[in-house]
Chain A
Amino acid sequence: MTGNRDNPDRDNLLDRAIDAVLRAGTPGEPPPDRVAGLLAAVERAASEPDCLTFRERIKTMRFRAQVAVAATALIVVLGLLPRLIPGAGDSVAFGDVAETLTKVRSATWKTQYEVKGPGDEIRKWSGVGMFLTPSHERMEITADGKTNVTVIDGEKNKLLTLDPPTKTATVIDVRNAPGEGPFGRTFQGLQEMVAAAHRGEGGQVERLSGEEIDGRRTECFRIRRGAIEVKIWADPKTFLPVRVEETTAGDEKTRIVMTDFQVDKDLDKSLFSLDVPAGYTVEQTLQLDAAAKPITTVAEALKMAAEFNDGVFPPELRGEQGIDGIVRQGMTAWEKEHANDPPEQKRAKVAKLALTLGGAFGVILSLPPDSVHYAGKDVKLDTPDRPIFWCPSLGKEKGGYQVIYADLTIREMSAEEAAKLLPSK
């Protein structure tokens, strides 16, 4: 038995209670008449009219991301189905979608963003996205009637944002960007996520019931990776996505919907140019260093929230009392105080903040919610030897845990050691 050995009486009490449950007498065999009734109920349920056929059962089988062999076998079976079963020619496997999506060389799509703010206020943006292989992306995002353009070159790790009303441009140069992971790469991020899920390396894939979208029959797959959930409705004939919806599972505070996909069209390369267009002035050039380990970003975000909260860590990790709520409130106050500061200084602060929070939440949301623990409530920044955040090791050190302390030191340890540091409540 594992357990707390600090207090032998309490520990023995729990172990004795477990033994008592295990040794509790069971009332012999279930009565035969009840068994017959149970069997009848089970057989009735199994033979109800909506009972699935063999083909449907295979189609609705859940892919176990961890068991790549099973997934591969399933894809083989689905690949053979069109030849084995008449009328099964338009069935689609997740592997078909992954393979087709990976081969897309260029794409355009429409995007709707929804962010639920305080008091359930929902803010919405819409946008048009364009992708050109290998790693170019252009987003034209409209909010409150104003459109901003962002051009990303994922190979050069450069980003250009254009503000047409003011004719100003911002250039962001990211140093030490990680080899994988979306640096603002929406479509490429989707391609990478689907491919990783198909390889069994990231997220669990599940088939959901399909539906008709704009008069087209679709089949739906769901990928769950940590708290992020992505649903893909694919055309069974082309295997291409018809609709993609990304939500944060549980609270659904953000929702991104991509629709109207067109792929492999000729797109003018100039749309993806990082050259500042004529008539625009470069307001600032930001150098961002992404060399920090993911866990460091979480520590940085916690520090940021504590600084906005009179030096005390937020009561919760997420939500109005969490990092996001505290930072939002803090930034509102900060902006009022610095209303007369030069706009580029304010923008630089907001950019750093957005990058830190984006990185931290990217880390937190990518982990299974059950594996992340937070105990920073009422803890002052820089308190020594006070663990406040636990998560499974990110990066190479798989299998262990990383713990952030209130003085922002980060320690690697085994799950058992990390568990011992958890507060009793």
Chain B
Amino acid sequence: MTDWESVVGQHLDFVWRTACRLVGDDADAWDCTQQAFLDAVRLERRQGVRNWRPLLQHLATARALDLLRSRCRERSRRDLSAEPAEAVGREPCPSQWSEANELAEGLRNAVGRLPRRQAEVFCLICFEQMTSEEVAERLGIRPTAVRMLLSRARKRLERLLQPFGPAAEPKERTR
């Protein structure tokens, strides 16, 4: 019998931080956190869990990615008049936002545009600091495939972040 109070107690903080980091919003991060734990209940029933931390890290990342992707789709629907832009435009943001916050938000938006597997690999390695081998085991793929996916994700993100680069004109930055 799993002691859920203990599981939640031990891992809530970092699941919450993982979700916050990825979605950048309290309310959404809490939804992701709650969903990650409920997913964990279902998975624990199906296959048992040996190591909670990487599992919850993966589930929180997956839920956060769902949300980023859904935000991305929502933006596309709102912006029907515009051609689908390859690069991520800057969302209107409060003037007091620092450049770093803006860049972080740009990266979150860009990650929401990546193919699912690439996004998962990128987040788990670059944000959650997992190794290729750990990610490979979690996703059930080879470490070499993980490295390929990471490389592709980085290339795509570099392109998507171009409007934030020093050469980009302010006009190009706003969609």
Query: A residues within 8 Å of B by Cβ?
Result: 1-4, 7, 9-11, 13-14, 16-24, 26-27, 29-30, 34-35, 38-39, 41-43, 45-46, 51-52, 57-58, 60-62, 66, 204, 368, 370-371, 373, 390, 392, 399-401, 415-416, 418-420, 422, 424-425
Contacts and interface: CB of A to CB of B under 8 A. Distances in A.
B127 A21 contact: yes
Contacts of B12: 30, 35, 38
18 contacts: A1-B126, A14-B107, A14-B154, A21-B22, A21-B127, A24-B24, A34-B30, A38-B37, A45-B42, A52-B45, A57-B45, A58-B48, A60-B45, A62-B47, A204-B140, A370-B117, A392-B145, A416-B151
Given A14-B161, A204-B140, 15 more contacts: A2-B147, A2-B154, A10-B158, A10-B161, A11-B158, A13-B165, A19-B100, A21-B127, A41-B34, A42-B38, A45-B42, A401-B144, A415-B147, A424-B155, A425-B156
A11 B151 CA distance: 12
A425 to B, nearest CB: 8
Contacts, number: 160
B8 to A, nearest CB: 5
Contact of A57 (B5, B33, B48, B158): B48
Interface in B122-175: 126-127, 137, 140-145, 147-152, 154-159, 161-162, 164-167
B144 A399 contact: yes
Nearest to B18: A26
A236 B4 CA distance: 34
B55 interface: no
B76 interface: no
A20 B103 contact: yes
Most chain B CB within a 10 A radius of its CB, from A27, A370, A424:
A370
B17 interface: yes
B107 to A, nearest CB: 4
Contacts of A368: 141-142, 145
Contact of A61 (B41, B47, B117, B140): B47
B155 A4 contact: yes
A391 B41 CA distance: 36
Most buried by A among B24, B141, B154: B154
Contacts of B167: 9
Contact of B127 (A10, A22, A58, A66): A22
Contacts of A10: 158, 161-162, 165
Nearest to A415: B144
A416 B117 contact: no
B5 A45 contact: no
Interface string B1-22: 0101100100011001100111
B26 interface: yes
A400 B144 contact: yes
Nearest to A414: B144
A389 B14 CA distance: 40
Given A368-B141, A370-B145, A13 B158 contact: yes
Contacts of A38: 8, 12, 33-34, 37
A380 to B, nearest CB: 24
B148 A373 contact: yes
Nearest to A70: B50
A81 to B, nearest CB: 15
A1 B166 CA distance: 21
A289 to B, nearest CB: 30
A61 B43 CA distance: 10
Given A11-B158, A29-B13, A62-B47, A24 B101 contact: yes
A21 B16 contact: no
Given A18-B127, A34-B30, A61-B47, A416 B158 contact: no
Nearest to A423: B155
B106 interface: yes
A20 B98 CA distance: 10
B69 interface: no
Contact of A390 (B4, B140, B148, B154): B148
A370 B4 contact: no
B38 A370 contact: no
Contacts of B143: 415
B61 to A, nearest CB: 12
